[in-house]
Structure 1
Amino acid sequence: MTSRFDVTGHGVVVTGGASGLGLAYGEVLAAHGARVTLIDVDEAGLSREAARLEGEGLDVRGAIADVTDHAALDSAVDEAAAIYGRLDVAFANAGIDSGAGFVAGWAGSERPRVEEGAIERYTDERWNRVIDVNLNGIFATARAAARHMRPRGYGRIVVTTSLAATKVEPVIGSAYMASKAGARHLVRCLALELAAEGITANAIAPGFFVTNIGGGHAHDPELQAMVAKDVPMHRVGRPDDVKALALFLAAPASEYVTGQEIVIDGGWGLGIAD
């Protein structure tokens, strides 16, 4: 069974890899022998984390690129594939959160409070930026990866969606929820198109995880305690919680799984969203 989880020498790219879930993906793959390129716009964070992992003896490098700049993203993916001589795994993870949507509320609220005129004040710039990063960026990452995977007849594309793709939360930005729901369906489209080529496409859908998205509000201990009260396991998720699932979806062991969105949440556990 161990060989089914062997990713030694695999070429891997991770967008949004300088922190949070993306960094966790990169860490676990590199720890199991993969060669990993972390792609991010955060130059300082990228340099710091890549140097830390290299110092631990792992094969990790950083590449600066914005997923909304598709030419730059293509170059970063192409360069990684050229260095490794292969591209086996692509984590399309980069994402942003524009803040609350058309209504206001938080965990523990009995009823969301509607903000009068909220949709009228929701600007094109705010909407388009989130869609461009969270949905168009996933498309561009998958496209860049497929160009290298298809000729080899092997590949794993793993997309970070969100529990917000299925469960509407008033405090989560409306554009964020729409983009993650779109990404969920995009994964299914990718799976249908690429399955015959030996390429799988799946999604990891985190619930409330402590990351830097949305300005890092999830690091607030009071907020974590409030959220924990509403979930059965009374805990919030941490990036390390996704590592085993990320390794499975990136490894040969997952060859029979494609087109799935797997929900992983610190409070609700693991499940497949139909």
Structure 2
Amino acid sequence: MSLQEMFKVAGATAIVTGGASGIGRAYGEVLAENGARVCLFDTNQGMLDETVAEIASRGGEIWGQVVDVTDRAAMAKAFDQVAKKHDRIDIVFANAGIDAGPGFLTPEGKRNPEGAIDALDDDHWDKVIATNLTSVYNTIKLAARYMKPQGSGRIIATSSIASIYNEPIVGTPYMPAKAGVTHLVRQAAMELGRFGILVNAIAPGPFATNIAGGRLKIPADRKAFEDWSVLHRIADTSEIKGLALFLASPASSYVTGTQMIIDGGLHLRPAD
């Protein structure tokens, strides 16, 4: 198999949740740039339209649907629309997620009362879990329904370095939600392998995105993550494209049930 064939996704049908910006947009771009037929799901109509138009202007076959990943009925309908349009679903990136707010410590190491566990708002906890974990479960569930009959498929969930490394400056609900994604990926990989479906996770570290309202634009927060990274910098979203294409393509044909870390070495930081 040639290098071009190894990374071939041309003609494949792909869905990316949370695809209008950030890491999700990077997933959509690399797939469309390499010939996949891509549908982006997002709640932000304006940003979704802009992203679709920009990628399409470069020759990509791409379209979008406004859908809330926590709305199970809407997600089922959106998947059905993709299947009707393209006859099949080959690649699904379960990427949509939200920030959990500040943690119990500030970047300077001072206690933050608002982030203390006894002060957490229960509705906020429920929202983070629903968006960052339950929606991934539902996305995998829907993907499996379409992929099992065809005997093939790739499902890639966006986890986080927070799934293996607890972080005091990040809101508490974020860690268990992302750890849950990691275990869910392994469980789904065990079940779906016999149907030719590979299930994996990407665990990003600090990337320059709009999550947390662009929190990494705050100097203190940005410096903290830059200092913890072995490379001493924040990643650009374009730097995740290679890993995404690998997991979506034949190059990863014997890879399933794993989580691939892309964090600039942040997980190597010794505990304080």
TM-score normalised to the size of structure 1?
A: 0.92
Task: Give distance in 2, aligned partners of 1:51 and 1:67.
Answer: 22
Spell out, residue by residue over 1:88-121, the C-alpha distance to the aligned partner (whole angstroms, 9 max, x if none): 00000000012023x1122xx4x56363892222
1:62 paired with 2:60, answer no
Correspondence 1:144-163 to 2 at 5 A: 144-163=142-161
Identity %: 46
Q: Structure 1 residues 268 and 120 mapped into 2: Cα distance closer, same or farther (>3 Å)?
A: closer
Distance (Å, rounded) in 2 between the aligned partners of 1:228 and 1:217 = 13
Distance change (3 Å), C-alpha of 1:221 and 1:120: closer
Which residue does 1:94 correspond to in 2? Answer: 96
CA shift for structure 1 position 177 = 0.9
1:161-219 per-residue CA deviation (whole Å, 9 max, x = no partner) reads 00001111111111111100001100000000000100010000001111111111113
Gaps of 5+ in 2: none
Q: Which residue of 2 aligns with 1:138?
A: 136
Deviations 1:203-252, CA, capped at 9 Å, x for gaps = 00001111111111113456434422332211111211110000000001
- Of residues 24-33 and 211-220 in structure 1, the stretch that sits farther from structure 2 once superposed is 211-220
Q: Determine the C-alpha separation between the residues in 2 that align with 1:36 and 1:133.
A: 22
Q: Is contact 1:7-1:34 (8 Å) kept?
A: yes
Look up the match of 2:176. Answer: 178
Paired residue for 1:234?
Answer: 232
Aligned residues: 266
**C-alpha contact 1:203 1:262 (8 A) present in aligned 2:** yes
Matched position secondary structure for 1:104: coil
User: Is it true that 1:42 corresponds to 2:41 in the alignment?
Assistant: no
CA distance in structure 1 between the partners assigned to 2:115 and 2:146 by the alignment: 47
Deviates more, 1:49-58 or 1:30-39: 49-58
CA RMSD in angstroms comes to: 1.8
Which ranges of structure 1 fall in alignment gaps of 5 or more residues?
none
Task: Say whether residues 1:197 and 2:198 are aligned partners.
Answer: no
Pair 1:259–1:221, CA change in 2 (3 A): same
Give the TM-score normalised by structure 2: 0.93
Moved over 6 A (4+): none
Q: Which residue of 1 aligns with 2:106?
A: 105
